[in-house]
Structure formats: structure tokens, C-alpha cells
Amino acid sequence: MTRSTDRGASQDAPRGERPTRRRFWNLARRDSLTGYLFIAPQLVGVLVFVLVPVGLAIYYSLNDWNIFSGELQFVGGENYAALLDDPQLPAVLGATAIFSSGVVVLNIALGLSLAILLNRRFRGVTLFRTLFFSPVVVSVVAWTLVWGFLLQDNGGINGLLAQIGVVGPNWLQEGPTAMIAVVVTQVIRSVGINMVLFLSALQGVPRELHEAARIDGAGNAAIFTRITLPLISPTVLLTAIITIVGALQAFAQIAVLTEGGPGLSTTVLVYYVFQQAFDFNDIGYGSTLALMLLTFVLLLTVLQWQLRRKWVFYED
């Protein structure tokens, strides 16, 4: 019925003029569809592996789940209230803050220093770049296991120290040295990524700017702080974000090296979440802690994006 009416209408149009039919799949719509099709696989991935688990975590955090009997009991905000009553949580948050700060500061400082050192032309520079980057491609667990043996009381590190007459500490059994050990192990393994990012950024700094500054009488320190650092500040922001997020997600290093000990000195939040959910089978409280961690990561990332206006220059 409609089709015949349309046909009739087009027949009424003046001869020589094409009817002005509105095509649904116009150029704009087709472009949009193409865009959506391109991002669809990623969207499906985010939906299945991020949004659904986050939704489930919220659901589980409102329930008490007895895994063995399969009973799920709605408890409302009980798990959230338990955060305030958990006597171990302050120590866990403290360990998380120390570990994350240590990893971020050391990683960025070391990554930038290595990048500056290796941003020169000298024989064997490629070898050194490969050498510093290679731990990144090593399995975390394998890397940590080897370090675990080296850091034993009678292990390789203390053996080397003994060669020069130094009695090394029992690295993994004493609170402060255990934290130092897990931070350094993590930094050495992951610093290669930041080094490569900084190296790429440094190579993008125009040489003529350095030359101009030098002609104006600027020293190395002034050139670095006034020219180089501002120009690579977008990369500093990027590395800061990925390093903080990476540090907050560190798990295998802790699980293999220290199991969170001695005491709670190296029990970071992710490891604590794992313990609660999978060792103690308290899925509800574990989910609540995981949501707290998610909130921390989101807040830190938003904060860094806000702060970029103050310390990131030449942002597109």
C-alpha cells in the first residue's frame, strides 16, 4: 500500500527532475557504521572482560556467597562497612602506598636516566638498549623465581656481598628489606618500557633548540630542565600513568617472593584481594576490596589528567 503510494508520488514529479528520496544509508551514516564496526571487537572485549566483571563484582559485594554450599545471601552494605572494621586494611594500604610510590619514583627516574645515557651515539649503544629492555619480555613469574633464589639468606646477592666483606641482610625476611627487594625487582624488570618511551620522546626534541640555548649560554642542567623536560612532559605523564596503574596491579612478584610478608609489610592491595576472594573464599569482601582498588586507580588517573594542565607542555 505504501509502496504504491510512493510510486504514484514519484510519477507525479515534474519530468526531468529526479525525485528527492532521502536515503537512509547516507554518507554520514555509512561512516559511522564503519567506525562502529572497526571498534566493535574492542567494545565486545571491554563489555565481556571489563564491564560485565565490574557489574558482577558490584553484585557480589552486596552478597555473602558460601562457595561450597552455593548459597548467596544479600547483605546490603555489610561488606563495605567491613572495610572500616578490618584491622589489617590500614597496613595493607600503607604497604600499597610505599610499594607504588617506590616503583613509580624509581622507575621513572631510572627510565629517564637510562634514556638520556643511551640517547647518544657510541659503539654498542644498541646492545645496551637491548640489554636494559630484555627483562620486559621475560615472564614475571620466571623473573621473580630467579630473584627469589638470589635474595635468599644464603643466596647469590649475599654471596657477592660476602666477597667484598659485607654481611648482607636476610632480604626477604625483614620488613624494610623485603619491601626494597620487591620494589627493586619490579623496577629492574619493567624499567625497559619507560626507557624506550623516554628514548623515543628525547629523539623527538629538536636539536636546534639545544644549540640555540647553548649559544645563549645555558648549561646542561638548564637545558634539561627548561627545554628537554617540558618538551617530553606528555611522555612523562604517560609513563607516570602506566607505571602507577602497573604498580597497583603488581601481584606475581609479591605472591612468589614474599607472600605478603614478613607480617603484612609487603601485602599490597591486589594480593590482599586475591587472599580474601580465593584463599579465604570470601568473594563478597574480596569484590568490595577490588572495587576500592578500581576507585583508587580511576581517581589517580583522573587526578593526573587534571594536573597535566599544570605540568604538561605542548600538548596537542
Cα angle 18-23-25, degrees, rounded to a multiple of 5 = 145
One-letter amino acid at 204 equals G
> Binding segment for another protein among 46-54, 107-115, 165-173, 209-217 (CB under 8 A)?
165-173
Interacting residue with another protein among 183, 268, 283, 290 (CB under 8 A):
283
Percent of residues in the chain assigned helix, strand, coil, to nearest 5: 70, 5, 25
Interacting residues of 240 by C-beta distance below 8 A, sequence separation 6+ = 104, 108, 304
49 makes contact with another protein (CB under 8 A): no
CB of 92 or CB of 183, closer to another protein: 92
The CB density around residue 313, as the number of other CB atoms within 10 Å, is 12
37 Rama class: left (phi>0) / alpha (psi -120 to 50) / beta: alpha
220 makes contact with another protein (CB under 8 A): no
CA 43 to the chain's CA centroid: 20
Interacting residue with another protein among 174, 210, 234, 292 (CB under 8 A):
174
Residue 251: exposure state from Cβ atoms within 10 A (0-12, 13-18, ≥19): middle
86 makes contact with another protein (CB under 8 A): no
279 makes contact with another protein (CB under 8 A): yes
67 makes contact with another protein (CB under 8 A): yes
Interacting residue with another protein among 264, 290, 291, 293 (CB under 8 A):
264
259 makes contact with another protein (CB under 8 A): yes
> Binding segment for another protein among 34-42, 65-73, 139-147, 210-218 (CB under 8 A)?
65-73
Interacting residue with another protein among 98, 110, 173, 238 (CB under 8 A):
173
Sites of contact with another protein (CB under 8 A): 65-70, 88, 149, 151-155, 170-174, 259-264, 275, 278-281, 283
